[in-house]
């Protein structure tokens, strides 16, 4: 049995871990490895290594940091196939989806390659007679990231490249469900020339999480996951004096107006709802059909949902792999069942899907529910699986009110040919990231990622300019250099 170890101070490390957790192959249901689960002492070892490394790294030149980021970026390209297959084997997503995750994460590395521009300070000359003012930003020290299973490469890449490029050292606690990709990233950083201890990986469960949240030498924590855990992380980490980025869950709506190209809209809704088996915080889980769009949209969605090819992520040609665990599969099955019991029309039922030769895998097919209401569990709960619920309304105003009444505010989209409707929608919805004829509006790396309401706990979005601000603190210097006369007299005589 392969044992996945921590990465501390530039090398694999068992540290003091005595507990392990199984790592499954979601396509077969079989245990393919085990991962060490850290004890508080293991977190202490990683933080100590990061703290020692910060003494030099925090004073390193921008040129050195940028040079390493460029080298790291090239290694991500070179090893893209290996990384994608590692993700697919432990997460279950198809290879092309895993490649897309790597590319989107790599964009943040590219932003970090230009970090020198983002770190430029300001200067004001002669604010008073002979007085100048200038500002600059400095790193915090040791920072940490706690990341979810659904994007084992991309979400950590939202954090550590910017943290490291701005001069911090980093401790990553990835999901124990698909841990191997993080160790591969650590190896690539080492190959790129990153000094030992600047990037560390500690695998674990709540024990490791709590040790990170409580550690007095960790200055900031970044988290992406469910809203209840985001609230827990924010409360506990801020109580110990840390800065916190805490991104929570979502229930993303896509509004389809009658004037939209319904074939185009249905294509994108199908991909946004069922891609990565719906295990995305930006997945579209609710389609809002406005007026006359309803019947025809559902008809097209039914056809497209039935065309989705489900199978092992490693097989070329599959559109969707399994969900990550048996518990996740059961959650999806129960969500469809409760929708039917509560009055929704099950247009496409993916509960009984069987993939020949992979009967033990965690497979569930795409499901499409129509006539869903806001009182139903299928609408209220974050299913995090391949289930698309269709809610019908009469007007775009009703659609906006529906979205604004939802407790989440991560992402939303509208499909329309009307610029007026799109502009009104983008101004009035209480959501942080909006797509116009774009179903998954994840911003580019030079913008910041973050929702509203229960999708972002606190006020710190991730990556982009907000990421730079999060991982640094500003100094403002007011200086006066008065003119002094040189003379030959002994100083005490003048």
Residue ranges of E strands in 210-283: 218-224, 243-247, 252-256
From 150, 66, 115, 123, select the one nearest 325 (Cα to Cα).
150
Indicate left, alpha or beta for 384 from its phi (over 0: left) and psi (-120 to 50: alpha): left
Q: What angle do CA 321, 79, 52 make, to 5 degrees?
A: 110
| Residue among 281, 286, 305, 433 flagged as catalytic | 281
Q: How far apart are CA 88 and CA 90, in angstroms?
A: 6
Give the strand pairing for 169-173 and 142-146. Answer: parallel
Element (H, E) at 299: helix 293-307
Is 113 noted as a catalytic residue in this protein? no
Helix or strand or coil: residue 6?
A: strand
Q: What is the C-alpha R_g of the chain?
A: 25
44 forms beta bridges with: none
Burial of 302 (0-12, 13-18, 19+ CB in 10 A): middle
Residue that is written with structure tokens 């797509």 in the block: 435
From 324, 143, 148, 328, select the one nearest 224 (Cα to Cα).
148
Residues taking part in catalysis: 281
């Amino acid at each position: 049995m392969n044992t996945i170890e921590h990465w501390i101070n530039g090398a694999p490390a068992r540290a003091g871990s005595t507990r392990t957790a199984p790592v499954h192959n979601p396509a077969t249901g079989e245990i393919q490895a085990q991962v060490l689960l850290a004890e508080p002492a293991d977190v202490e070892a990683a933080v100590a290594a990061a703290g020692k490394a910060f003494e030099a790294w925090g004073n390193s030149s921008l040129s050195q940091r940028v040079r390493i980021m460029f080298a790291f970026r090239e290694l991500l390209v070179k090893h893209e196939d290996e990384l994608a297959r590692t993700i697919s084997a432990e997460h279950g997503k198809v290879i092309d989806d895993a490649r897309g995750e790597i590319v989107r994460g790599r964009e943040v590395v590219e932003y970090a390659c230009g970090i020198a521009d983002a770190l430029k300070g300001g200067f004001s000359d002669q604010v008073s007679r002979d007085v100048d003012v200038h500002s600059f930003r400095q790193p915090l020290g040791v920072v940490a990231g706690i990341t979810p299973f659904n994007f084992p490469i991309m979400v950590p890449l939202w954090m550590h490249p910017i943290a490291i490029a701005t001069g911090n050292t980093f401790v990553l606690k990835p999901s124990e469900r698909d841990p191997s990709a993080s160790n591969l990233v650590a190896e690539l950083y080492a190959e790129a020339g990153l000094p030992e201890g600047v990037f560390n990986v500690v695998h674990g469960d709540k024990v490791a999480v709590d040790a990170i949240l409580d550690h007095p030498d960790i200055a900031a924590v970044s988290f992406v996951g469910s809203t209840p855990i985001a609230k827990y992380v924010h409360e506990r980490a801020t109580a110990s004096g840390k800065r916190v980025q805490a991104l929570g869950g979502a229930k993303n709506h896509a509004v389809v107006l009658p004037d939209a190209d319904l074939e185009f809209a249905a294509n994108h809704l199908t991909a946004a709802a069922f891609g990565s088996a719906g295990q995305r915080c930006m997945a579209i889980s609710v389609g809002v059909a406005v007026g006359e769009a309803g019947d025809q949209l559902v008809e097209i969605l039914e056809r497209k949902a039935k065309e989705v090819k489900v199978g092992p992520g490693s097989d070329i040609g599959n559109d969707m792999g399994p969900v990550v665990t048996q518990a996740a599969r059961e959650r999806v099955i129960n969500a469809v069942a409760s929708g039917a019991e509560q009055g929704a029309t099950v247009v496409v039922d993916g509960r009984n899907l069987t993939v020949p030769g992979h009967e033990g895998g965690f497979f569930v097919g795409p499901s499409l529910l129509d006539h869903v209401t806001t009182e139903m569990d299928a609408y209220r709960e974050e299913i995090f699986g391949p289930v698309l619920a269709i809610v019908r309304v009469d007007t775009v105003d009703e659609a906006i009110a529906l979205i604004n009444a939802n407790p989440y505010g991560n992402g939303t989209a509208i499909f329309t040919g009307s610029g007026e409707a799109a502009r009104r929608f983008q101004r009035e919805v209480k959501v942080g990231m909006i797509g116009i004829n774009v179903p998954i509006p994840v911003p580019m790396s030079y913008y910041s990622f973050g929702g509203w309401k229960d999708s972002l706990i606190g006020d710190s979005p991730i990556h982009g300019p907000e990421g730079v601000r999060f991982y640094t603190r500003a100094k403002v210097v007011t200086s006066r250099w008065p003119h002094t006369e040189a003379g030959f007299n002994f100083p005490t005589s003048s």
